[in-house]
Structure 1
Amino acid sequence: MLFYTHSGLRYLVLLVGVLTLGYACYGVVTGRTYDRTMLRLARTFAGLTHFQLLLGLVLLFAQRFYPALIGHIIPMVFAAAAATVVPAVMRRREPAARTWIPHVVTTLLALALMVAGIFAIGRSPLGMSGQ
């Protein structure tokens, strides 16, 4: 059951990541001023990524370890770090100093690392497969 929760939650994580990336790109293209919605989306993406990482760690200790998991775990940890850095920094900046580009770069990096981590265990980011 935990495996299916972890596997299914990736759709929500990827969806929120794509929404975050899309909103940040929209902000860059239109030249809008930075707003709270961007910060909320980025925090939601980071929070869901952390929850997914926590489920993965619990799953790691609950099931059998195999070497391909190393190629899954490492990119996922770095993806969680990438998703966390910008919202933490932007929260501390003055509103006038907040920009969209860091969100574009780190969200794209986090999503790329997530996809690489999913492929590392022989699964598809959008496909569902049994254990």
Structure 2
Amino acid sequence: MSPMTPAAADAFLRDLHVGVLAVERNSKPPLAVPIWYDVDESGNVIIWTHPDSLKAKLIERAGRASFTVQQEAMPYAYVTVEGHTSRASADDVTARRIAQRYLGENGGDGFLKSNPTDGYVIITIHKDEVRSLTYDE
């Protein structure tokens, strides 16, 4: 087992996975939730969520988060992005890209019609640190 090269870690992160978002809480263990995501041109993780969700509120308070994707079959592997966060109003282009990533073109468009972006936010986890490991031989 060894760390991935930066290029391999970036490619792995861009593959289709459900990610696990982790963010600190004051008096409880960190919140860890599975979530759909995308990756921008700089390798930062982008999520689309409602601003009143627990994850959005905790991220706003903490200003940072961790995000992990993994491969559950041999060769086992993972990439974790740790970083500071920023928040912007959701836009249809980004939300559609995330929905289509997981549901395909028609399914993603249908999902977006049932879940409009009005009032939602895009949260970016800027990659301050990337950790990875692969069990390749």
Is TM more than 0.5 here? no
TM-score by length of 2: 0.26
TM-score by length of 1: 0.27
Greater percentage in strand: 2
Higher relative contact order (CA 8 A, sep 6+): 1
Greater percentage in helix: 1
